[in-house]
């Protein structure tokens, strides 16, 4: 297998995903406690020492909670946009080493090319990522309010996609959330609904796409079944049936997808 993606945990309670290209290992987000990340990595057979870099999508706590301890303990660099690094507000000595990523520009991590692209979300400079190595292209877009034209353009031609499917529109509408929170979650700089995730996938899914991980599901306003059904309804059967589907969960690591 040239590339594997393993969701270690996903949702507002904490996010971390391992992406492996040959011997290069990248941790995308470090939003679980350090101990939790260590345990989950161990449970999927990965030694934390073997990780090359931690890539951060944005500064929100559910993506950065374990960042400081993990990167200091294992002496790993943190790569993120300048805005995200600033927003973390961590004194220089609290981070082992930081690498500033520029939106739209390709950066190298060992043999892997990493390109951040902007996503609409209520953080300082939030990014989705395109990762390419070993002939495999992986697209990651979690925490985004809507699929913009740029997001669609960037995610075309991937073999593996990890996409947010945060909420069911009706469950969010009827949820006991306060009105302001409903507005934030459902807003264009909030989180992606199942319908929008389906529309995004319909716009980018082509003959190359082999595996899709639906991620960052709301515990209150979504279920794995609803997310899968809503997204599937947007796709032509010949495309849907060719794809290896996963729903990332909050509490335990998911089965790896591999291409």
Residues that bind Zn ion (CB under 5 A): 60, 62, 143
Provide the 3-class DSSP secondary structure of residue 118: strand
Q: Give the count of beta carbons closer than 10 Å to the beta carbon of residue 255.
A: 11
CB of 236 to Zn ion, least distance (A): 30
Structure tokens at 211: 């595996």
60 vs 137 by CB, closer to Zn ion: 60
143 vs 196 by CB, closer to Zn ion: 143
- CB burial of 23-57 (b: ≥16 within 10 Å; e: otherwise) equals ebbbbbbbbbebebbbebbeeeebebeebbbbbbb
145 vs 198 by CB, closer to Zn ion: 145
60 vs 154 by CB, closer to Zn ion: 60
CB of 61 to Zn ion, least distance (A): 9
CB of 86 to Zn ion, least distance (A): 16
Pick from 112, 105, 117: nearest CA to 141: 117
CB of 197 to Zn ion, least distance (A): 14
CB of 26 to Zn ion, least distance (A): 18
Which ranges constitute the DSSP H helices of 114-243? 149-155, 169-173, 179-186, 194-204, 224-233, 237-240
200 vs 205 by CB, closer to Zn ion: 200
């Amino acid at each position: 297998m040239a590339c594997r993606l393993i969701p270690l945990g996903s949702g507002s309670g904490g996010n971390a995903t391992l992406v492996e290209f040959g011997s290069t290992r990248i941790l995308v987000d470090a939003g679980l406690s350090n101990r939790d990340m260590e345990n989950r990595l161990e449970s999927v057979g990965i030694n934390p020492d073997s990780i090359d870099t931690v890539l951060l999508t944005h500064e929100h706590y559910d993506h950065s909670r374990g960042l400081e301890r993990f990167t200091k303990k294992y002496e790993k660099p943190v790569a993120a946009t300048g805005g995200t690094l600033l927003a973390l507000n961590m004194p220089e000595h609290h981070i082992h080493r930081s690498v500033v990523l520029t939106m739209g520009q390709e950066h190298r991590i060992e043999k892997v090319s990493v390109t951040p692209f902007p996503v609409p979300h209520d953080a300082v400079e939030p990014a989705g990522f395109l990762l390419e190595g070993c002939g495999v292209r992986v697209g990651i877009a979690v925490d985004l309010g809507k699929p913009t034209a740029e997001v669609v353009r960037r995610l075309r031609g991937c073999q593996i996609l990890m996409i947010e499917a945060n909420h069911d529109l009706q469950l969010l509408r009827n949820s006991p959330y306060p009105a302001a929170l409903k507005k934030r979650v459902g807003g264009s700089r909030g989180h992606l609904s199942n319908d929008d995730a389906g529309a995004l996938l319909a716009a980018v899914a082509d003959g190359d796409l082999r595996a899709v991980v639906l991620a960052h599901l709301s515990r209150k306003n979504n279920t794995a079944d609803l997310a899968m059904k809503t997204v599937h309804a947007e796709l032509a059967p010949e495309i849907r049936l060719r794809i290896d589907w996963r729903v990332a969960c909050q509490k335990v690591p998911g089965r790896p997808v591999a291409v």
